[in-house]
A and B are shown apart, each in its own frame.
Chain A
Amino acid sequence: MVTASTAKASPGKEGAVPFLQIRRVVKQFDEVFAVDDVSLDIQQGEIFALLGSSGCGKSTLLRMLAGFEVPTSGQIMLAGKDIVSLAPYERPINMMFQSYALFPHLSVWDNIAFGLRRDAMPKAEIQARVEQMLELVQLKAYAKRKPHQLSGGQQQRVALARSLAKRPQLLLLDEPLGALDAKLRERTQLELVDIIEQVGVTCVMVTHDQEEAMVMATRIGVMSEGKILQIGRPSDIYETPNCRFVADFIGSVNLFKGTVDVDEADHVVINSPECLHYVSHGITGTAGMTVHVAVRPEKMTIQPERPQDDERESPEQVGFNIAQGVIKDLAYLGSLTTYHVQLDGAATVVKVTHTNAARHDASQLTWGDRVYVWWCGSDVVVLTG
């Protein structure tokens, strides 16, 4: 049984020295900045996901951590020591490749033992460690097989075992679930996290799949065009995006463009063509500023009749955060229905997600119906960028 020798450190612990520090790292290829002045702190024991679409620089950053690319400038400190000048084979870091890269001419056992043999570990210890790893990923019976004799999911587990065998200080995952089909992916996401937490190793993963990042990571860094846009827990990123790109990248979002009419410490009123917005918290900004109001589809309520005043979140919000429109499109997805509503007063189409809590909820509304769409002031995020 593998014991976690470092306890699962809670991420972002106050005052803890960051285990991995990426300081102003730049990677330039000819004219292009693949990674543009990125700084990042990763705590020991956390699973950190770099999330972004292809070409955003996340893979380049990962390869710099592994040692396959050398930063044009900047520092990478692991446990206080700058590792930029170290070759990949000198770093206490191991990587699980997207294609697994299992050596086809070696058996599962030899694949896992490969890294241990390079360290000139005594035979008995290698034996013990490999068996420990096989136990961890539940592939003991397949030790003598060659990679081409395994299924995709089994190959992934061997790749994971191989990358954990040397007990690295940092584990890197490159699109860990990219090669698996959808059904397998779901199951594997959680299994993978279980194993990593069991071992207690700090992990940095790279993915373009936001669901993967949200499920697996303790913290996410959203990247675009070589820069990190926002870092935070999955809930932080989702509920409090700091810019339009992040808001739009994760899940769906409705954006209203408007000007700040009233700017108080505890509430803000914003004027947009579709409706008046009452935001239940203060913002950093001034009256007259142009901002975007972001409301998630599931935070909106859709109904054919006007909501009662006492249904609203607070009395001040009567007349605010409400719009009328016509249903342009709807998609029935079983557990929920997505409505696309064309709002009066503007060309804006908002997306509203409605959970079909009661059995015949969905049949209430159809194309062409006039509806009210409303939401609460505390469910709103104001974006200035």
Chain B
Amino acid sequence: MTTAVKPVSFLHDKLTGAWGKNAVIGVPLTFLLIFFLLPFLVVFKISVSEMDNVVFKDLFVWADGVLQLKLKLGNYLFIALDDLYFQTYLSSLKFAAVTTLICLVIAYPFAYFMARSPADKRPALLMLVMLPFWTSFLLRVYAWKMLLADSGVFNNVAMAMGLLSEPVKMMNTPFSLVLGMVYTYVPFMILPLYANLVKMDLSLLEAALDLGATPWQAFWRITVPLSKSGIIAGSMLVFIPCVGEFVIPELLGGPQTLMIGRVLWDEFFSNNDWPMAATVAVVMVLLIIVPLALFNKYQAESTAGGRA
């Protein structure tokens, strides 16, 4: 009564085990190093390079037998001193912040009500929220153009109904930009909030009510603080991409709406000034580095667990 113990050498298995583990980590790591990290290094390098007819001069130059580092910091100085750039960065941050706030105001009650709906209705509701997400975002943003244009659906209908005598300018304004961004990013705010609220222990609220709190007080003192991680996650998922948004400002924004994403695009595609575009990108990254670190920290915490 013996079981067949395969006489595989322990060393062989240790090697294949280690090999397997290294491959699992190594393959994605290599991919990321090449396609995520390396590009950032290249961008930084280009932002401090001279550009001579789309050929980059080397950073390191032999001059008089000494290795010199030639950094062209002109672009950075330009951005720092130029008022327009400053205004654009500021404006991007402002629009992103406003969008995040409005998304939160819309999404929080929605996520709350969805989490409190009867359990059998929730999958259907979730599906309804996700469905627009699966249809092209480009097309949906475009649709707002049709709705908000001077001769668009809203204006036509309002005039036909006699509510307006002439069209209201809604298109190519800060209003249309924020509307477009809120529209696109609201699902990103709903999902983490919902995930958090649906897991909340309702007996905590009952305990609060039992101890004399009104429903309103219980909401602000118990529910909201406990959903903090959902609020942060959702806010980061909206704020950070909004700072660098391009498509929505391009389709729905106008000359008044300064967004740094458009500036970067124009520098690259229209002006062909690659070092400048690179500089704009580096500064943008610096701006979002704090929220980005916050987001990464949240991700690490929410996925903590995993074995040694």
Asked whether A and B interact, the reply is: yes
Residues of A within 8 A of B (CB): 5-6, 85-87, 90-92, 119, 166-169
Stretch at the interface among B1-9, B263-271, B281-289: B1-9
Min CB distance A32 to B, Å, is 14
Min CB distance B124 to A, Å, is 24
CB nearest to B5 among chain A residues:
A92
Are the C-beta atoms of A168 and B3 separated by less than 8 Å?
yes
Are the C-beta atoms of B1 and A90 separated by less than 8 Å?
no
Our pick among A87, A91, A119, A167 for the contact of B13 (Cβ within 8 Å) is: A87
Our pick among A5, A85, A87, A119 for the contact of B3 (Cβ within 8 Å) is: A119
Our pick among A86, A166, A168, A169 for the contact of B10 (Cβ within 8 Å) is: A86
Count chain A CB atoms within 10 A of each CB in B3, B4, B6, B10 and give the residue with the most.
B3
CB nearest to B1 among chain A residues:
A5
Bound together, the chains give a CA A160 to CA B185 distance in angstroms of 52
CB nearest to A4 among chain B residues:
B1
Also in contact, A169 and B4, with CB within 8 A (given A85-B10, A86-B10, A87-B13): no
Our pick among A5, A91, A167 for the contact of B5 (Cβ within 8 Å) is: A91
Are the C-beta atoms of B8 and A6 separated by less than 8 Å?
no
Are the C-beta atoms of A119 and B8 separated by less than 8 Å?
no
Are the C-beta atoms of B2 and A169 separated by less than 8 Å?
yes
Given contact pairs A5-B1, A6-B1, a sample of 8 additional A-B residue pairs in the complex whose CB atoms are under 8 Å apart: A86-B10, A87-B10, A90-B6, A91-B5, A92-B3, A92-B5, A168-B3, A169-B2
The interface residues of chain A lying within 8 Å CB-to-CB of B17 are 87
What are 24 A-B contacts defined by CB distance under 8 Å?
A: A5-B1, A6-B1, A85-B10, A86-B10, A87-B10, A87-B13, A87-B17, A90-B5, A90-B6, A90-B8, A90-B13, A91-B5, A92-B2, A92-B3, A92-B5, A119-B3, A119-B4, A166-B3, A167-B1, A167-B2, A167-B3, A168-B3, A169-B2, A169-B3
- Chain B, range 2-27, C-beta contacts under 8 Å to A: 2-6, 8, 10, 13, 17
The interface residues of chain B lying within 8 Å CB-to-CB of A91 are 5
Bound together, the chains give a CA A86 to CA B8 distance in angstroms of 10
The interface residues of chain B lying within 8 Å CB-to-CB of A87 are 10, 13, 17
Bound together, the chains give a CA A166 to CA B1 distance in angstroms of 10
CB nearest to A89 among chain B residues:
B6
- State the 8 A-B residue pairs at the shortest beta-carbon distance, nearest first: A92-B3, A5-B1, A85-B10, A166-B3, A119-B4, A167-B1, A92-B5, A167-B3
Min CB distance B21 to A, Å, is 14
Bound together, the chains give a CA A315 to CA B108 distance in angstroms of 84
Min CB distance B16 to A, Å, is 11
Min CB distance B240 to A, Å, is 37
The interface residues of chain B lying within 8 Å CB-to-CB of A167 are 1-3
Min CB distance A84 to B, Å, is 10
Min CB distance B282 to A, Å, is 42
Min CB distance A99 to B, Å, is 16
CB nearest to A115 among chain B residues:
B3
Min CB distance B70 to A, Å, is 50
Bound together, the chains give a CA A168 to CA B6 distance in angstroms of 14
Bound together, the chains give a CA A87 to CA B5 distance in angstroms of 11
0/1 string, B51-62, CB within 8 A of A gives 1: 000000000000
The interface residues of chain A lying within 8 Å CB-to-CB of B6 are 90
CB nearest to A68 among chain B residues:
B307
- Chain B, range 202-232, C-beta contacts under 8 Å to A: none
Bound together, the chains give a CA A332 to CA B132 distance in angstroms of 67
- Chain B, range 94-148, C-beta contacts under 8 Å to A: none
The interface residues of chain A lying within 8 Å CB-to-CB of B13 are 87, 90
CB nearest to B14 among chain A residues:
A87
Bound together, the chains give a CA A167 to CA B1 distance in angstroms of 7
CB nearest to A119 among chain B residues:
B4
Min CB distance B12 to A, Å, is 11
Min CB distance A240 to B, Å, is 35
Bound together, the chains give a CA A119 to CA B6 distance in angstroms of 8
Bound together, the chains give a CA A289 to CA B62 distance in angstroms of 90
Bound together, the chains give a CA A92 to CA B6 distance in angstroms of 10
Bound together, the chains give a CA A167 to CA B3 distance in angstroms of 6
Min CB distance B13 to A, Å, is 6
CB nearest to A6 among chain B residues:
B1
CB nearest to B307 among chain A residues:
A68
Bound together, the chains give a CA A90 to CA B8 distance in angstroms of 8
0/1 string, B71-112, CB within 8 A of A gives 1: 000000000000000000000000000000000000000000
The interface residues of chain A lying within 8 Å CB-to-CB of B1 are 5-6, 167
Bound together, the chains give a CA A92 to CA B8 distance in angstroms of 14
Min CB distance A179 to B, Å, is 22
The interface residues of chain A lying within 8 Å CB-to-CB of B2 are 92, 167, 169
CB nearest to A201 among chain B residues:
B1
Min CB distance A30 to B, Å, is 11
Bound together, the chains give a CA A168 to CA B1 distance in angstroms of 8
The interface residues of chain B lying within 8 Å CB-to-CB of A86 are 10
